Structure 1
Amino acid sequence: MQAASRESYYAARAALGSPSIEAGEQILAFADLLAREPRLRRALADPSRKGDERAELARNLLAGKVSDAAIGPIGALAAGRWSAPSELLEATERLGVDALLAAAQSSGDLVEAEDELFRFGQIVSGDPKLTAVVGDSSVDPARRVVVVRELLEGKTKPVTVKLAELAVRGFGGRNFAAGLTRLVELVAERREAEIAFVTVAEPIDEASENRLASSLANIYGRQVSLKIIVNPAVLGGMSVRVGSDLYDGTVARRLADVRNALASR
């Protein structure tokens, strides 16, 4: 988002107060409405209209349909200045996630939600049949959401189910795997931690995990949560990704470097 849009998003986030899972769902439902209705999206981001007028339009549209915990932040979004209608949509979706995470933080569920989301992604990626349903964007999103609910409801935290559904619907325009990964990172950000995605050929012991987490915490100046991905194709060594930083010391990477060096001679 550009600067003006970021300021508007932060203002709406400040209006969240103490939201519930329900409020998060309602804000995300409004984001779905904006995605389906480009005319509404343009009207609520129109710089030629006063912010109060746009906020009133949103409140009138949603009156009696959403809770007070949702209508306030949505009104703040509509009153904001947006560099483009698409950035209003992006901010609304992100605000819905913020509301879900704030509710999970209040109930002490953030750490479990982070782990559950990551494990669910690993389960899906490790099962070709499940990947073909959950991860295939050509399959009706409503059908994929039903599958996610059947897999997760009653077995994970409520916020985990809602976030997994959002990943299936294409959070931020991403595919399922990328959307789920970003949501795991946002959960960690909420509890002021970094996520390190660690790929190894075989599982590592607890002592090695603790040493790696400590080393990364020293580098990034904050707690680091490791997410271990076992992939025999890397052959050996370790690949670590923290945000946009990648440390690839796998055998597969070193062999590829050697092949590239030989090919360039």
Structure 2
Amino acid sequence: MSLRGASADALAALTTELESVLSGAGSSASTVGDELFSVAATLRSEGALRRFATDGSIPAEAKAGLVQQVFAGKVDGGTLGVLTKAVSSRWTAARDLADTLEHLGAVAVVRSAGQDGGRLSDELFAFAQVVKANPELRDALSDPARSIQDKSSLLHGLLDGKALPATVTLAVQSLSGTHRTVGAALNEYQKIAAEVHGQGVATVRVARDLSDAERGRLEQALSTQYGRPVHLNLVVDPSVLGGIRVEIGDDVIDGTVSSRLDDARRRLVG
């Protein structure tokens, strides 16, 4: 998540606050995540509340008091603690508050997956690929004439019993419209999942599926090169012909046969 100035400082402080809430007893990560998503949506829809909560001229105590009145008894104590600290912080732009709460909601949902963090990342990536490859599904999820409830029911029908509860929650949250597309939201959530577990994310394109041993060697090589664990998103793409193409952050390592053939063609033409 990219924020500037005071908003970046607030995000850092709130991330620490969330970690404290989730590491303590009494607050479920999945509940906190769901509630932070809901609060973010409320702030986006209620302009007066959003402006009050982000107005730097209003004392922090007054903003915290209003939040307590509006949300006390409606959300978990841990969620309320994060929200109270959020409205007491300074923000570079008013929209940053809701964006940050949604981001923290995603972090909490990722935490709720526990030791299944790797599976969660794989499921988010796989579902993003399904949406990308299926125009009818993509259109159904982006159709403004269909209600969010209708789209959510569609996702539950596709994913319930087949994916982790955290995956389903994040897939449904991708419908909120705060990202450019559902696919963009799913990609962002996968990045968050990797960051929570201290990983990088590498998209690997190959002509054929890799064996477990080959995946292991590639993961180890990339982890050594980048100085931290790297999670692989494997895309089988026959157009690469052979070799591999690795995209990690802004880096591209292209060792595919198709790229070498293209280079050869350019040299011949030149």
Distance 1:213 1:183 in 2: 21
Cα deviation 1:122-156 (Å, max 9, x = unaligned): 3333333323323x354534322221111112222
- 2:175 is the alignment partner of 1:168: yes
Q: Which among 222, 225, 233 is matched to residue 227 of structure 1?
A: 233
Gaps of 5+ in 1: none
Using the TM superposition, name which of 30-39 and 231-240 deviates more.
Answer: 231-240
Which residue of 114, 127, 131 corresponds with 1:124? Answer: 131
Say which SS state the counterpart of residue 122 (structure 2) adopts.
helix
Q: Which runs of 5+ in 2 are unaligned?
A: none
Are 1:197 and 1:229, in contact at CA under 8 Å, matched by a contact in 2?
yes
Aligned to 1:3: 5
1:248 and 2:254 aligned: yes
Q: Secondary structure at the match of 2:242?
A: coil
* Matched positions, count: 260
Corresponding residue SS for 1:229? strand
Q: Which residue matches 1:84? A: 93
Give the Cα–Cα distance (whole angstroms) in 1 for the partners of residues 264 and 144 of structure 2: 39
**Which shifted more, 31-40 or 250-259?**
250-259
Aligned mates of 2:211, 2:266 — CA distance in 1: 33
Change in CA separation of 1:37 and 1:258 when aligned onto 2, cut-off 3 Å = farther
1:111: Cα distance to partner? Answer: 2.2
CA contact (8 A) 2:107 2:193 kept: no
Partner amino acid, structure 2, of 1:210: G
- Correspondences of 1:12-51 after superposition (within 5 Å): 12-16=14-18, 17-18=21-22, 19-20=27-28, 21-51=30-60
Q: 1:239 aligns with which of 233, 236, 245?
A: 245
**Which digits, 9 at most, give the CA deviation of each residue in 1:22-61, with x for residues without a partner?**
1210110011112222332222111111122112222211
Instruction: Percent identity, please.
Output: 33
Partner of 1:73: 82
Q: Which amino acid aligns with 2:149?
A: A
TM-score where L is the length of structure 1:
0.88
Matched residues in 1 for 2:266 and 2:56: separation?
Answer: 52
Counterparts of 1:2 and 1:175 in 2: how far apart (Å)? 24
TM-score (norm 2): 0.86
Decide which moves more: 32-41 or 64-73. Answer: 32-41
> Shift of the alpha carbon at 1:254?
4.3
- Tell me the residue number matched to 1:115: 122
Give runs of aligned pairs for residues 94-173 of structure 1, distance below 5 A: 94-105=103-114, 108-134=115-141, 136=142, 138=144, 140=146, 141-170=148-177, 172-173=178-179
C-alpha separation in 1, matches of 2:99 and 2:263: 39
Which amino acid in 1 is paired with 2:103? R
CA RMSD of aligned residues (A): 2.2
**1:237, 1:39 → 2: CA distance?**
56
Change (3 A) 1:90 1:254: farther
Measured at CA, do residues 131 and 212 of structure 1 come closer, stay the same or move farther in structure 2, by a change above 3 Å? same
Distance 1:9 1:96 in 2: 12
